[in-house]
Amino acid sequence: MLSRVANSIYWMSRYIERAENVARFVDVNLQMMLDLPSGLTEQWEPLVIITGDDKPFAERYRGATRENVIQFLTFDTKNPNSILSSLRAARENARTVREAVSPEMWEQINTCYLMVNAAAARGYDLEDTDRFFSEIKKASLLFDGLADATMLHDEGWHFYRMGRFIERADKTSRLLDVKYFILLPAASDVGTALDDIQWAAVLRSASAFEMYRQRHGHIEPDRILDFLLLDLEFPRSINYCLTHAGLSLHAVSGAPAGTFSNSAEQHLGRLQAELAYTPVEQIIAEGLHEFLDGLQTKLNMIDHGIFESFFALRPLDGRRGLAHREGQ
Amino acid sequence: MKFHGYSCDGFYDEMFEPDGGARPGATLLKQKIESLADGELLERQQAAERALLQGGITFNVYGDGAATERIFPFDVIPRIIEAKEWERLENGLKQRVYALNLFLDDIYHQQKILKDKIIPAEIVRSARSFREQCVGLNPPRGIWCHITGTDLVRDRDGQVYVLEDNLRCPSGVSYVLENRRVMKRTFPQVFEASRVRPVDEYPSRLLDMLQSLADPALDSPSVAVLTPGIYNSAYFEHSFLAQQMGVELVEGRDLIVADGRVLMRTTKGFERVDVLYRRIDDDFLDPQVFRPDSLLGVPGLIEAYKNGRVALANAPGTGIADDKCIYAYVPKMIRYYLGEDPVIPNVPTYICAEEGDFGYVITHLEQLVVKAVNESGGYGMLVGPHSTSAERADFVERIHKHPRNYIAQPTLGLSRVPVIVDGSFSGRHVDLRPYILCGKDIYVLPGGLTRVALKRGSLVVNSSQGGGSKDTWVLTD
């Protein structure tokens, strides 16, 4: 497979997963704000902080109101990580590899982009947010289903899976950070009904509430963290994402599991081992936010390793430069 | 919707006889359309447009800052060509492509046709599209032009003419295939019992032809489509054809020439490419041979080509036969190389570089269409009857300055077809671009791209100038 094509498939997949997860972020916050006791003001700034785009937001918006934050995260084309920008980037990547994906996939991504683009032109409708964000989630899941059911499960598909799972791992970690940044009214509120409601909202945003119930029953923060960080069977948990990104990575390189033949496999293997041998209690004791921060940095190293190992053009004769790297 | 009240206005109509009755091949279609429930036809038209939009078969229109996407306008009433007529056109196209290939091989070798004074040597020497670099080239199988898109038009009296030959990188065939797919999906009723010849074998034919150009010693030659990239207006087509053939779509930056071979960069290292269906113009193919500032091409490509390590379709240098002055001599070529009369005539053409013609053109601009010989896409053109005196004065000056750069033709009353305009039928002018593949044998895709000038009265069908398209049905007997 052409390096350029593999790169585009990988980013097409990451951008779709990104759009889906931004929809999940907004959704979790909307849910939590609905349950706020009266007298407390809504908190929307944490959402901008966890996406890492708080600076450009502050430069162009006056105040983290609900309208501003949703506009910024959903329709703002100047924000490269907004839902609309992500879908546009996914579609442009898909366009450059249209011959490598199935026509059904192309049509799906195209239709989804046109839907969000039309919504952006109409303007944001507060009454309709629930339906709108679930449309985006569904569109992304349908795309994933089409990839699974209509694409050759060859190298291209493995790059698709790598993009999907690495992006998802990153975003699940950020989803957990939403809860960290949403401050409870007082420290004594930890473990209260309000705290439970907020954790339940986090689970719902990851489509994880019922599956968590089956696994652990009661809402307990450390169990929830265990579930979303370390569970090996829940497909949005970080450990699950890393395992499956790793399977695809090894399928492409041919290196046996437990070994590495490139820097992506090396970084990914180390991170997997760390998750496998760290109990959730220790993560909490050492600081969840710090742990998630470190995790995001390591995911970036894996991403960089994939770029170096498969996409970077290595000139034979020095006449050509390196490929332009598509940023996040 | 009924055709009641539809008028041919004195033009040849592809669907109706001058007395208003449907032509024999169109009778069934007319019945089917008229038997649809009220509003059904418009619904089908909208469904087709929606399908094209969702399929992303669009091009970008820039203006007011933001780019908007439009579909290439499509009209659901098909254009019909009857079996007998198609047979004659097919023969004529094969004859023409055969002769043009002989011409290209001759012009880059002995130039017999110039020595025998069939074509003035000056015309070839002064052609911008003549490539010195191609003199002495021996393309695989001696074929230069593998893919041709020849534009045909029909005049008032029903006579079909060749308007121009496109032998460089003719585009549009993807619309032929997509238009048919959309028609079948949105308007299946009209196909029943209509005996329409299918078009979907084109990608396999194209792939077979491309593979036949590779070194015969290779077991499974590797074919790729070479595109200038996503910003090219025909990018959709490049990617579509690669997808339909199941081959890689490559850009110049994916390729490298090493040890005389053309290689593409893959995730597992470098892999050989044996045949390139290139959709990049000669000028940009190889900065070592053609334009040195080209970033789209591959340094060393032509050297590898000359050494027979890679095949290119079309061969470089075919543009000379696209020159609108050379066009005027194609009937003579056919007689010279084949000893046959042309099956499809040329539009009578005045060559401004020739003294007698020059005087006539200057004094009859109002009746003529003047074309710049090196332009395409409907640019650099004067349509005499629709022009202002200022525009004509401007062309007189231009022709005086560079007579070699202009030809003129009588203004044809292009044939028309019904299209849906604001809920009723209205006649619009059309042309037809059939696609011809030349490998071991010559294959003509049944039909081709029917382009429609959607502006009332307009004779310019190019998509850049407000043209649309239709599905083209070649009927079986």
- Rounded to the nearest 10 degrees, how much is the dihedral formed by the CA atoms of A63, A68, A69, A71? -160
Under a CB-based contact definition with an 8 Å cutoff, are residues B106 and B112 in contact? yes
Alpha-carbon gap: A99 to the closest alpha carbon of chain B (Å): 4
Low-confidence ranges of chain B (pLDDT < 50): 64-65
Q: Residues of B with CB below 8 A from A91's CB?
A: 56
End-to-end CA distance of chain A: 23
Measured distance CA(A72)–CA(A22) in Å, rounded = 11
Question: How many CA atoms are closer than 13 Å to the CA of B174, on its beta-carbon side?
Answer: 21
Measured distance CA(B199)–CA(B383) in Å, rounded = 34
Alpha-carbon gap: A2 to the closest alpha carbon of chain B (Å): 4
Alpha-carbon gap: B474 to the closest alpha carbon of chain A (Å): 27
Closest alpha carbon within chain B to A98? B239
Measured distance CA(A215)–CA(A227) in Å, rounded = 8
Q: What is the pLDDT of residues B226-277, one digit of tens each?
A: 999 888 888 889 989 998 999 999 999 999 999 999 999 988 888 999 999 9
| A117 lies within 8 A of chain B by CB | no
Alpha-carbon gap: A73 to the closest alpha carbon of chain B (Å): 20
CA gyration radius for chain A? 20
- The pLDDT, as a whole number, for residue A318 is 35
Q: Residues of B with CB below 8 A from A324's CB?
A: none
Nearest by CB to residue B267, choosing from A252, A317, A320, is A252
The counts of H helices and E strands in chain A are 15, 0
Write down the domain spans for chain A: 3-311
Q: Which residue has the tokens 């036809």?
A: B41
Q: How far is CA B450 from CA A13, A206, B166, B467, B469, in A?
A: 38, 51, 15, 10, 6
- The pLDDT, as a whole number, for residue B305 is 95
Domains with residue ranges and CATH for chain B: 216-307 (3.40.50.11290), 350-410 (3.30.1490.270)
Measured distance CA(B378)–CA(B337) in Å, rounded = 31
Alpha-carbon gap: A96 to the closest alpha carbon of chain B (Å): 6
- The pLDDT, as a whole number, for residue A115 is 92
Cβ of A114 within 8 Å of Cβ of B53? The answer is yes
Under a CB-based contact definition with an 8 Å cutoff, are residues A165 and A242 in contact? yes
Nearest by CB to residue B54, choosing from A110, A314, A317, is A110
Cβ of A3 within 8 Å of Cβ of B265? The answer is yes
Q: What is the pLDDT of residues A222-261, one digit of tens each?
A: 899 999 999 999 999 999 999 999 999 999 999 998 899 9
3-state helix, strand, coil in chain B (%, to 5): 35, 25, 40
Question: How many CA atoms are closer than 13 Å to the CA of A192, on its beta-carbon side?
Answer: 10
Tally C-beta pairs within 8 A across A and B: 70
Q: Which residue has the tokens 């074509």?
A: B119
Q: How far is CA A6 from CA A184, A249, A286, A307, B87, in A?
A: 44, 12, 38, 10, 45
Residue B20: count of CB within 10 angstroms of its CB: 13
Q: Residues of A with CB below 8 A from B247's CB?
A: 99
| A319 lies within 8 A of chain B by CB | yes
Q: Percentage of chain B surpassing pLDDT 90?
A: 72
Closest alpha carbon within chain B to A155? B267
Alpha-carbon gap: B240 to the closest alpha carbon of chain A (Å): 6
Measured distance CA(B252)–CA(B366) in Å, rounded = 46
Q: DSSP labels for B404-423?
A: GGEEEEEPP---EEEEEETT
Q: How far is CA A52 from CA A171, A180, A328, B12, B135, in A?
A: 12, 15, 11, 66, 60
The candidate with the shortest Cα–Cα distance to B427, out of B437, B439, B415, B438, is: B415
Nearest by CB to residue A2, choosing from B230, B254, B299, is B254
End-to-end CA distance of chain B: 28
Measured distance CA(B451)–CA(B463) in Å, rounded = 8
| B49 lies within 8 A of chain A by CB | no
| A316 lies within 8 A of chain B by CB | yes
Low-confidence ranges of chain A (pLDDT < 50): 315-328
Cβ of B254 within 8 Å of Cβ of A316? The answer is no
- The pLDDT, as a whole number, for residue A327 is 36
Nearest by CB to residue B56, choosing from A5, A106, A313, is A106
Measured distance CA(A49)–CA(A30) in Å, rounded = 16
Q: How far is CA A109 from CA A87, B82, B215, B236, B342, in A?
A: 8, 40, 40, 16, 49
The candidate with the shortest Cα–Cα distance to B267, out of B282, B248, B281, is: B248
| B258 lies within 8 A of chain A by CB | yes
Written as one letter, the residue type at B437 is L
| B248 lies within 8 A of chain A by CB | yes
Cβ of B56 within 8 Å of Cβ of A110? The answer is yes
Alpha-carbon gap: A309 to the closest alpha carbon of chain B (Å): 8
- The pLDDT, as a whole number, for residue A274 is 95
Q: Which residue has the tokens 């929606």?
A: B50
Q: What does the block give as tokens for B226?
A: 């070479």
Measured distance CA(A64)–CA(A43) in Å, rounded = 8
Q: DSSP labels for B287-349?
A: TTTS-TT-SSS-TTHHHHHHTTSSEEESPTTGGGGGSHHHHTTHHHHIIIII----SSPBPP-
Q: Residues of A with CB below 8 A from B254's CB?
A: 2-4
Show contacts of B248-251: CB within 8 Å, 24+ apart: B248/A2, B248/A5, B248/A99, B248/B222, B248/B224, B248/B273, B249/A5, B249/A99, B249/B224, B249/B225, B250/A2, B250/B224, B250/B225, B250/B226, B250/B276, B251/A4, B251/B226, B251/B227, B251/B296
Measured distance CA(B2)–CA(B33) in Å, rounded = 8
